[in-house]
Amino acid sequence: MKPRKLSLHIDVDAFIPATDQDKAYLVKMRSSSTFFKDGMKRLLKNKVALVSIIVILVVVLGCIFIPMFWPYKYDQMLGVTAGAAVDSSYANLAPFQYGATEKALIEQGTKVFPHIFGTDAAGRDYFIRVVYGTRISLGVGFFASLIVLVLGMLVGSIAGYCGGKVDMVLMRIVDVIYSLPDTLMIILLASVLKQTLGAAIEKTIFAKMGSNMLSLFIVFGALYWVSMARLIRGQILSLKEQEYVLSAQASGAKAGWIIRKHMLPNCISVIIISTALQIPSAIFTESYLSFLGLGVNAPMPSLGSLASDALNGISSYTYRLVIPALIISIIVLSLNLFGDGLRDAFDPKLNA
Amino acid sequence: MNPKTVSYILKRILMAIFTIWVVITVTFFIMHAVPGGPFLGEKAISESAQRALEAKYGLDKPLFEQYLTYLSDIVLHFDFGPSLKQRGREVIDIITDGMKTSVKLGLIAAVIALICGTVLGSVAAIRRNKTIDKVIMVITTAFVSMPSFIMGTLLLAFFAVKLHLFPANGSTASGMVLPVVTLSLYPMAYITRLTRSSMLDVLGQDYIRTAKAKGVSGWAIIFKHALKNSLIPVITYCGPMIAGIVTGSLVVEQIFAVPGIGRAFVNSITNRDYPLIMGTTIVLAILIVVMNLVSDIMYKVVDPRISFD
C-alpha cells in the first residue's frame, strides 16, 4: 500500500519488531563521559603533570606531618637550657653532627635523633626549620591565591554582569591598579604595614599570625586581584549572551542567582586553572619579600628568609643556602607544570 | 602616521601620566600613614628639637599642603627633598648616583637577554622536537621557575665562593659579570620561549609556504621572512622585561653588593629613610611606566595588523 502523505493511516512497517542487528546499534559500547572525566583522562595521560602533582603532594604531606613527630622544634635553640650557660657546641653543626651533651648521651648508648641538615647559627635544627619554612611558604601561597580568587571573582562578576556605568567605573579602577608597578608597590606597602600593623592587631587572633604575614595577605589582596577580575569579567561577558541566561531572566531569576547558578559553574575551569597558576607566583613574591626582610616575623622561618639568613655564612655553609633555594625552585616549577597540565586538560581553548 | 595611531598614542601617554600621578599620590599618603613620623625610634629628643626638625622638613604643615608642595617640587624641579639619614645629601643625588651603575647593569642584561633569547628561540623553533629543542626548553623552563634572588645566590655560592672565578663584590668590572648574568637569565629564558612559539606560528603561515614553493633557500626564509614577524611579541615583552630587571636588581644588587639604586632602595627601607623610599619608588615606577608605554606604542606602530580599540 502506498502511503499518502496526509492520510491518518498507520504505517504498519514502523511496528515490526527490531531485528538483532537493529538492537545492536543501541547497545552502549561504553558509558558516556562527562567533561570532568574527559579532563581527568587527559590529565592522567600527561606524565609531566602527574609527576609534578606527586611532588607537590609529597611536599605538602611532608610539611604537614613531619613536624608532628620530629623531636625538635623550629624555634628551639638546642644549646640553651634553662639555668645553664649557652652550650655553643650546638651552633653551626654540620649535617649529622651532634652537640656536646648529645655526644655524651650517645656514648652512654642512648639513641639521639640526627640533625639531618645540621643546625643554624643559633643552634636550631635546620631540617625542621626548612620543613616549617616550606609549610609557611606553601600556606601563604595558597591563602593569598584564595584571597585573590574571592576578590577577583566578586568584582569581576559584578562588573561583567551589571555592565554599563558600574562596569566602566570598576574597570577603570582595575586598569589603574593594573598599570602600577606591582612589586614596587608591594614592597612599599609591606614596609609601611610592617610598622603600623603590629600595634593595630595586638590581642586579636591575628597577633598569633604576626603582623608581617598579615601584611603579606593585605598586599596580595590589594594588588593581585585585578587580573583575576579581568579574566572573570571577560568570561561573564561572553556567557551573558547565552540563551539559557535569557530564559532564566525571563522566568524572573534574580541577578545573584544567575551569577551563582549559571555563570560561575560555566567559567569554573578557567577560574580554577588561573588560581592554580596564581599559587606559584604568590610563593615567588613571598620568598622575594622575605629575602628583603619584609616577610614573616622571626623566629618563624620561610624559605625566602632562610635563604636570606644563609647569605651571611655562604662561604662555610653553602648547603644552608642551596637547600631552601632548591625547594622553592622545585615547588614553583612543579606547581607551574601542574597548572599548565590542568590548563591543557580542562581548557584546550586557552592554550590556542 | 594616520590619525588613529596619533590619537592612540596620545591616549596612552595621558594614561601613563595619570598612572605616575597615582603612584606619587599613593606613595605620599602611604608613607605619611606611618604613626609617629620619621623621627620615631631615634634617640629621645626634646619637644622643641622635635618641633624644629619638623619645621625644617615641613612636617608641621597640614598634610594636604605638604602633598601639594611635594607634588609641585617633583613636577617643576624633579626634587624629592633631602635624605633623612644621609646628612646633607639630596634624595635625587643619591638616586642619580645609584642609577649610573644600575642602568649600565640593566642595559647590558637586557641586551644579552634579547640577543641570546631570540637566537635560542629561533634555533629551538627551526629544530622543532629535535634534541636541541628539547634541551633548550628544559633549561628555559627551569630558569623561568627560579626567582632571581635564588639564581643570584646560587651563582654567588658556586662561581664566587667555591670556584673563585669572579669576585663576590659587584662594584668592579669583573664583579659585574655575575649580577648581569643573574639579571639576564630569566628574561632570556622567557624571550626564548616567546620567540620559539611565535616563530613556530609564523613558520606555519601561507607566505612562508609561498616562499618555499618559489625556491627561496632555508636561511633566507628564516632571516628575511620569518624572524621579522616572529619578533613582534618580543617587542611587547620589552616593557615587562625592564620592570622585571628593575625589581630583580633590588635583590641582585643586595646579593652582590653593587652600589646601585636597588641597593639604595632596600637600605632606605631598613633605615626607614622615608624621603629616599618615596623618591626611589617614584623614580623606578616612572621608569617602568615609561618603558611599558614605549613598548606598547612600538607594538602598535610596528605591526599594522593590530587594531586600535
pLDDT of residue B109: 94
Contact assignment for B247 to A191 by CB distance below 8 Å: no
B293 Cβ contact list (under 8 Å, min separation 6): B12, B13, B16, B239
Predicted-complex ipTM score: 0.77
Residue A329: its chain B contacts at CB < 8 A?
A: 142, 145-147, 150
pLDDT bin (cut points 50, 70, 90) of residue A83 is low
C-alpha pair distances (Å), A140 with each of A65, A147, A295, B52, B298: 18, 10, 10, 44, 38
Spatial separation of the C-alpha atoms in residues B27 and A282, rounded to whole Å: 23
Tell me the per-residue pLDDT of A231-250, one tens digit each, with 9 for 90 and over.
888 888 888 888 888 899 89
Tell me which residue of A284, A291, A285, A182 sits closest to A226, measured CA to CA.
Answer: A182
Residues 6+ apart with CB under 8 A from A202: none
Residue-level pLDDT at A57:
93
Distance CA A192, CA A185 (A): 11
**CA dist B159 → B164, B179, B248 (Å):** 6, 12, 19
Q: Among residues B207, B208, B232, which one has the least CA distance to residue B126?
A: B208
CA–CA distance, A121 with A309 (Å, rounded to integer): 10
The gap from C-alpha B271 to its chain's centroid, in whole angstroms, comes to 24
Pick A318's closest partner by Cβ from B16, B18, B157: B157
Long-range contacts of B40-43 (CB under 8 A, 24+ apart): B41/B272
- Per-residue model confidence as pLDDT tens digits over A288-345: 888 887 777 777 888 888 888 887 777 777 788 888 888 888 888 888 888 888 888 8
Closest-CA residue of chain B to A330: B145
Task: Kindly identify which residue of chain B lies nearest to residue A314, measuring between CA atoms.
Answer: B157
CA separation for the pair B11, A317 (Å, rounded): 54
Mapping DSSP to helix (H, G, I), strand (E, B) and coil, where does residue A125 land? strand
Is the pLDDT assigned to residue B308 strictly greater than 60?
A: no
Which residues in A lie closer than 8 A to residue B33 (C-beta atoms)?
192, 196
In degrees, rounded to 5, the angle at the alpha carbon of residue A70 between the alpha carbons of residues A67 and A73 is 70
Q: Which grid coordinates belong to A20? A: 538483532
User: Is the preceding peptide bond at B38 cis, omega within 30 degrees of 0?
Assistant: no
Is residue A100 predicted with pLDDT exceeding 60? Answer: yes
Q: Does B161 touch chain A (CB under 8 A)?
A: yes
Taking phi first (over 0 means left), then psi (-120 to 50 degrees means alpha), and beta for anything else, what does residue A123 get? left
| CA–CA gap between residue A230 and residue A234 (Å, rounded) | 6
B40, B146, B149: best mutation site toward chain A, by most A Cβ within 10 Å?
A: B149
Most A CBs within 10 Å, among B140, B150, B270, to test the A interface: B150
Higher pLDDT, A160 or B169: A160
Residue among B293, B296, B288, B294 nearest B244 (CA): B288
Task: Please judge whether A311 and B255 are an interchain contact, meaning their C-beta atoms are less than 8 angstroms apart.
Answer: yes
Asked if B269 and A292 count as a contact pair (C-beta separation under 8 A), the reply is yes
10 Å Cβ neighbour count for B134? 13
Query: How many beta carbons lie within 10 A of that of residue B171, not counting itself?
Result: 13
Question: Which of the four pLDDT bands, split at 50, 70 and 90, describes residue A3?
Answer: low
Q: What is the mean pLDDT of residues A98-117?
A: 75
Mean pLDDT of B127-155: 85
Is the model's pLDDT at B114 over the cut of 90? yes
Instruction: State the CB neighbour count (10 A cutoff) for residue A176.
Output: 17
Count other C-beta atoms under 10 Å from residue B95's C-beta.
22
The answer to whether the pTM exceeds 0.90 is no
Count of C-beta atoms within a 10 Å radius of residue A10? 9
A179–B145: do the CB atoms touch at under 8 Å?
no
pLDDT beyond 60 at A350: no
DSSP track, A153-167? HHHHHHHHHH-HHHH
* B146 at interface of A, judged by CB pairs closer than 8 A: yes
Distance, in Å, from the CA atom of A295 to the CA atom of A278, rounded to the nearest integer, reads: 18
Considering only CB atoms, A188 lies closest to which of B18, B30, B145, namely B30
CA–CA separation, B86 and B265 (whole Å): 13
B141 to chain A, any CB pair closer than 8 A? The answer is yes
**Which residues of A make CB contacts under 8 Å with B?**
175-176, 179-181, 183-185, 187-189, 191-192, 195-196, 199, 280, 284, 287-288, 291-294, 304, 307-308, 310-311, 314-315, 318, 321-322, 325, 328-329, 332-333, 336-337
- Residue B164 DSSP code: -
Interface of B with A in 209-268 (CB under 8 A): 243, 246-247, 250-251, 254-255, 265-266
Which of B18, B144, B156 has the CB atom closest to A314's CB atom? B156
- Taking a contact as any Cβ pair under 8 Å apart, which residues of chain B between 61 and 80 contact chain A? none
Is the Cβ of B147 closer than 8 Å to some Cβ of chain A?
yes
What pLDDT, on a 0 to 100 scale, did the predictor assign at position B83?
Answer: 80
Q: Give B-chain residues touching A303 at CB under 8 angstroms.
A: none
| Residue A166, all three cell numbers | 558600574
Q: Note the pLDDT of residue B110.
A: 94
Q: How many CB pairs under 8 A join A and B?
A: 116
Alpha-carbon distance of A302 to B147, in angstroms, equals: 15
Is B35 an interface residue toward A (CB < 8 Å)? yes
Question: According to the model, what pLDDT value does residue B191 have?
Answer: 93
Residue in the structure block whose three cell numbers are 634579547: B114
pLDDT for the residue numbered B113: 94
- pLDDT, mean of residues B276-296: 87
| Residue the block writes with cell 648508648 | A109
If one counts every other C-beta atom within 10 angstroms of the C-beta of residue A82, the result is 4
Cell of A88: 655553643
Q: How far is Cα B189 from Cα B195, in angstroms, rounded to an integer?
A: 10
The whole-angstrom distance between B220's CA and the closest CA on chain A is 28
**Residue B96, C-beta contacts closer than 8 angstroms, at least 6 positions apart:** none
C-alpha cell read off for B233 = 611579541
Chain B residue numbers touching A321 (CB-CB < 8 A): 153-154, 157
Residue A69's CB is within 10 A of a number of other CB atoms, namely 6
Residue of B nearest to A331 (CA): B145
Place of cell 630558569: B143
Place of cell 625592564: B242
Closest CA to A137 of A314, A277, A276, A306: A306
Q: Look-up: residue for cell 604537614?
A: A64
Q: At which residue does the C-alpha cell 644552608 appear?
A: A320
Contact A129, A75 (CB under 8 A): no
**Are the beta carbons of B15 and A179 separated by less than 8 Å?**
yes
d(CA B134, CA B143): 14
Q: Which amino acid is at B50?
A: Q
Average model confidence (pLDDT) across chain B: 83
CB nearest to B146's CB, from A185, A314, A329:
A329
